[in-house]
Structure 1
Amino acid sequence: MIKTRPPAPPAESLGELAARHGLTVSGARPSLGAYIGQLWSRRHFVTAFATARLTAQYSQARLGQVWQLMTPLLNAAVYYFIFGILLKTSHHVPDFVPFLVTGVFIWTFTSNSVMAGTKAISGNIGLVRALHFPRAALPIALSLQQLQQLLFSMGALTVILIGFGQFPQASWLLAVPALLLQAVFNTGLSMAMARIAARTPDIAQLMPFLLRTWMYASGVMFSLATVLRGRDLPHWVAVALQCNPAAVYIDLMRFALIDSFTSAQLPPHVWAVALGWAMLFGAGGFLYFWQAEEQYGRG
């Protein structure tokens, strides 16, 4: 009588074998709640990383941290010469120097946050590949660095404002919520740019040109309200310029700090628009970055 061997049990797949022994995918994206918890547990790292980057930013320059003040002030001086003197924009804008310097400082906060975001992953690729941590900590830390730099520079802005007759008053307190909303907007935009640049590094080379175009559309060196009154533009163009997030945050800071910049120069529902941009980009940028968490540092 011939004996037959019983059929062999089906071979386990690699996934089943890993699950049976409690193995998980390395670098797998955690749930949104777990991801937020991981970020919160590393809040001290985010703060320390931002402060260290700020301290080291100009460590090789002889003037050191003075360049944190000099860079936006030199930009303001160049814009004043071109727009204030050569193009005579100052004739149509009361308190032009406070108007210009405020615009330059607030715009620099946004533009630097965007540029930092494009290098958040590629500029720290060794850290990303060597250690396991929520990658959103990097663009958040770099945005925090830019906020720290702006707050450091606000002393110089205050001196300039007082020197040109803009003395502290109750309206200056409005600068606090305006800066907080702008910081949330900048952080969300920085995270979105971090994901895009991680996949397409060439975007970092294109960003200076896009930012320069955005700056000219944001009324940094001139009054958008005056331009819109003097042009017969389609309604949607006027609304787009007025609701441009960079222009909104710049206008709110000018309204808070400059006496001659009145509510008549603000777009309709300006605080609601500022809050909307902050919520849209703050939450949207975070979700967009989190969705590609397992891809950063690979390839």
Structure 2
Amino acid sequence: MSQPPVPDSEGLPPPGGLAELAVAHGLTVSGARVGLGAYISQMWGRRYFILAFSQAKLTAQYSQAKLGQLWQVVTPLLNAAVYFFIFGWLLGGRGGMENEQYIPFLVTGVFVFAFTQNSAMAGVRAISGNLGLVRALHFPRASLPISFSLQQLQQLLFSMIVLVVVLLGFGHFPGFAWLLVVPCLALQFVFNTGLALIMARMGAKTPDLAQLLPFVLRTWMYASGVMYPLEHMLQKAGAHSWVSDVLLANPAAVYMDLMRFALIDGLPEALPTHVWALALGWAVLVGGGGFVYFWKAEEQYGRG
């Protein structure tokens, strides 16, 4: 049997023998990346931690505010009020909709886009903002951005109570179409989780990205039709057909369209049948791709 390399007279192993010596004594690289299948298995084993961490973050988010968790609802409602005043009243961006349709249209868009926006913002700080935890404990790092995305889902579900009240107040009552909210939110959650994972890896390497991201997200919001029917505004502006196709196919617009047409009766434009295919495609592409992209850099998080 071969023996492990014997150190020389100065107590150092012979040249090229460090790796062999480590293997002979069962040593491995600390924090080494495991295979994708084993990584997914580790994630499943941490599922209770992910859920508990997301709930703790949600509880602590507004712990210093007097209104507490009510700010989860008050903030998007105040944003919706500002957008209604500017885009719905001053600029005439309703696209022919009356208040009975436009206000639920606007509130739904604000809540749905905020879900994606907040997931991206939480994701970009998931690693860089939790370096103490990352360096102190060994666990799959993807647990952090996933838990932050789950936190935003819980926040949206809480806000949906107010959204339902708004819908009922303007004469939009539950129907079979409301059941489509479940698959729509599931697809958007997968997309948001992948986006959070991508942002987490990028933010871990470039912390300054957290300062730039709000401007990117604000541009995305204006290009997605949160405050106005996007197709109507594009036609009004005389945009080229390819520009319209690109903007209408962007994931934020897709998930908002699905939610609006599921919840609001009598919108002036019909929902194209390919929107569900786009929603599924974005979820698979960004959700799956984001997970693999984050896993590829597992060894780098918390170092340097």
- What is the TM-score of this pair, normalised by structure 1? 0.94
Q: CA shift at 1:224, angstroms?
A: 1.1
Cα 1:103–1:83 change in 2 (3 A) is same
Do the aligned partners of 1:243 and 1:267 also contact (CA within 8 Å) in 2?
no
| Aligned-residue RMSD, C-alpha | 1.5
Report Cα offsets for 1:22-53 as digits up to 9, x if no partner: 10000000100110000000000000000010
Name which of structure 1's ranges 84-93 and 198-207 shifts more when overlaid on structure 2. 84-93
Q: CA shift at 1:84, angstroms?
A: 1.3
Q: CA shift at 1:89, angstroms?
A: 2.0
1:298: which partner in 2?
303
Q: Does 1:86 align with 2:90?
A: yes
Distance (whole Å) between structure 2 residues aligned to residue 171 and residue 275 of structure 1: 18
Distance (whole Å) between structure 2 residues aligned to residue 248 and residue 261 of structure 1: 16
Q: CA shift at 1:225, angstroms?
A: 1.9
| 1:21 alignment partner, one of 14, 18, 25 | 25
SS at structure 2 position matched to 1:93: coil
Q: CA shift at 1:238, angstroms?
A: 1.3
Cα 1:230–1:11 change in 2 (3 A) is closer
| Unmatched 5+ stretches in structure 2 | 1-7
Q: CA shift at 1:13, angstroms?
A: 1.3
Q: CA shift at 1:227, angstroms?
A: 1.8
Distance (whole Å) between structure 1 residues aligned to residue 16 and residue 227 of structure 2: 67
Q: CA shift at 1:10, angstroms?
A: 5.9
Amino acid at match of 2:296: Q
Residue pairs, 1:33-112, within 5 angstroms: 33-90=37-94, 92-94=96-98, 95-112=101-118
Q: CA shift at 1:163, angstroms?
A: 0.3
Distance (whole Å) between structure 2 residues aligned to residue 11 and residue 79 of structure 1: 68
Distance (whole Å) between structure 2 residues aligned to residue 202 and residue 63 of structure 1: 31
Report Cα offsets for 1:166-202 as digits up to 9, x if no partner: 1111110011101100000000000000000100111
Distance (whole Å) between structure 1 residues aligned to residue 194 and residue 219 of structure 2: 20
Do the aligned partners of 2:95 and 2:228 also contact (CA within 8 Å) in 1?
no
| 1:277 alignment partner, one of 282, 285, 288 | 282
1:138: which partner in 2?
144
Do the aligned partners of 2:224 and 2:250 also contact (CA within 8 Å) in 1?
yes
Cα 1:225–1:40 change in 2 (3 A) is same
Q: CA shift at 1:234, angstroms?
A: 2.4
| 2:185 alignment partner, one of 171, 179, 195 | 179
Q: Does 1:195 align with 2:201?
A: yes
Name which of structure 1's ranges 123-132 and 253-262 shifts more when overlaid on structure 2. 253-262
Q: CA shift at 1:148, angstroms?
A: 0.2
Q: Does 1:286 align with 2:284?
A: no
Name which of structure 1's ranges 56-65 and 84-93 shifts more when overlaid on structure 2. 84-93
Amino acid at match of 2:94: S
2:216: which partner in 1?
210
Amino acid at match of 2:234: L
SS at structure 2 position matched to 1:97: helix
Q: CA shift at 1:228, angstroms?
A: 2.9
| 1:157 alignment partner, one of 158, 163, 166 | 163
SS at structure 2 position matched to 1:286: helix
Amino acid at match of 1:270: V
Q: CA shift at 1:230, angstroms?
A: 2.7
Report Cα offsets for 1:46-100 as digits up to 9, x if no partner: 0000001001110000111111110111110111111112112236234110000
Amino acid at match of 1:276: G
Q: CA shift at 1:267, angstroms?
A: 4.2
2:5: which partner in 1?
none
Name which of structure 1's ranges 149-158 and 225-234 shifts more when overlaid on structure 2. 225-234
Report Cα offsets for 1:214-254 as digits up to 9, x if no partner: 00000000001212333432232111011010000000000
1:5: which partner in 2?
none
Distance (whole Å) between structure 2 residues aligned to residue 297 and residue 11 of structure 1: 30
Distance (whole Å) between structure 1 residues aligned to residue 167 and residue 230 of structure 2: 21
User: After TM superposition, what 4+ stretches of structure 1 lie above 6 angstroms from structure 2?
Assistant: none
Name which of structure 1's ranges 84-93 and 282-291 shifts more when overlaid on structure 2. 84-93
- What is the TM-score of this pair, normalised by structure 2? 0.93
Do the aligned partners of 1:225 and 1:265 also contact (CA within 8 Å) in 2?
no
Residues paired across the two proteins, number? 291
Do the aligned partners of 1:113 and 1:190 also contact (CA within 8 Å) in 2?
yes
